[in-house]
Copies of this chain bind each other. A is one copy, B any other.
């Protein structure tokens, strides 16, 4: 380990202003999905609520949600739409503890002990800043070693661009704990598996006769099979990303959108059901990689805490979040919407996957041979 790492230090609860803070207040929701006035709106940072004289961290932290206290004492961060009439919802606007709720921002953003694992890089996003693939590879590798769950969120450009084989490699080597995407990623991947094309374009980029209908034919074939898993089982699909996920038992969520053709069996066409399934993954995620998707990156960014929670506060650590896009725009948008910890890589999805794989292979070799981290 050559990189000095972040050590989270919880706030001092005995010193003012926390030492003298009042208990947090809760009010009952008056109708299903309707919050009391003055509800406390959550962030993705470590948050402490004073209940029964103690400061506690609500479970399943994320932004743009509320904190509900259940009869059994459970403190949960939950979407407003899930609040039921009578549920006790935390109220207050102050984040400094003066109303019994404390958001520990300086523990993660800025300050001498920034939570950014990449703090030795500039945080600004630019195509002109160097990308430290060596560190990215090391962080991803170590996450696998410590048994974390790396969630990959991918857009269809990744399939177009033949980074498909590299993503399969990452799946097979255990670097993908879960995959989140949409109908299009799976459609393009399955079209490639069945017909050797994506959107009617061969792997060398040439159009093929009748190509514009091939993605429809791929969808129809999988619908006939009944499910993606069945299509793999029956031998209709013998290669590709979905094949790798199914055969390696890696969980995935395909969330529906209004752009979808089909959709494929297994796609959650209800966006609220999709959000729930996605959050089932993000609640367990300890690492995140977003490649070539604006919609899914921002959706997942909204759900993802900035930190990996832990029973002992000292073990709380930043949730490394890498966002890859062709332009600075998506990364900046992600950060504008609160995912401050996102580390931006401004490049082509194909090249990112290729170079990252190359560095992870080198990291594996160095690991095996016991030698220090390659530079």
Contacts and interface: CB of A to CB of B under 8 A. Distances in A.
Interface of A: 31, 33-35, 39, 41, 43, 64, 80-81, 93, 120-122, 126-132, 157, 160-162, 199, 201, 203-207, 210, 212-213, 216-217, 219-220, 223-224, 255-263, 269-272, 274-275, 278, 294-296, 298-299, 302, 326-329, 332-333, 336-338, 346-352, 354-355, 358
A210 B93 contact: yes
Contacts of A205: 120-122, 129-130, 132
15 contacts: A34-B223, A35-B220, A39-B217, A41-B212, A41-B216, A121-B206, A122-B201, A127-B161, A127-B348, A129-B161, A130-B161, A212-B338, A257-B299, A346-B348, A351-B355
A32 B256 CA distance: 20
B295 A122 contact: no
A238 to B, nearest CB: 19
The 8 closest A-B pairs by CB, nearest first: A41-B213, A347-B348, A351-B351, A258-B299, A256-B271, A121-B205, A259-B299, A130-B162
Contacts of A294: 294
A263 B299 CA distance: 13
Q: What is the copy number of this chain in the assembly?
A: 4
Given A205-B129, A261-B64, A43 B80 contact: no
Contact of A161 (B128, B201, B272): B128
Contacts of A260: 271, 275
A251 to B, nearest CB: 17
Most chain B beta-carbon contacts within 10 A, residue among A122, A213, A224, A351: A351
Contacts of A258: 255, 257, 271, 274-275, 278, 295-296, 299
A129 B160 contact: yes
A122 B258 CA distance: 29
Nearest to A296: B258
Given A80-B216, A326-B347, A348-B348, 6 more contacts: A31-B224, A81-B262, A122-B205, A127-B161, A129-B161, A258-B295
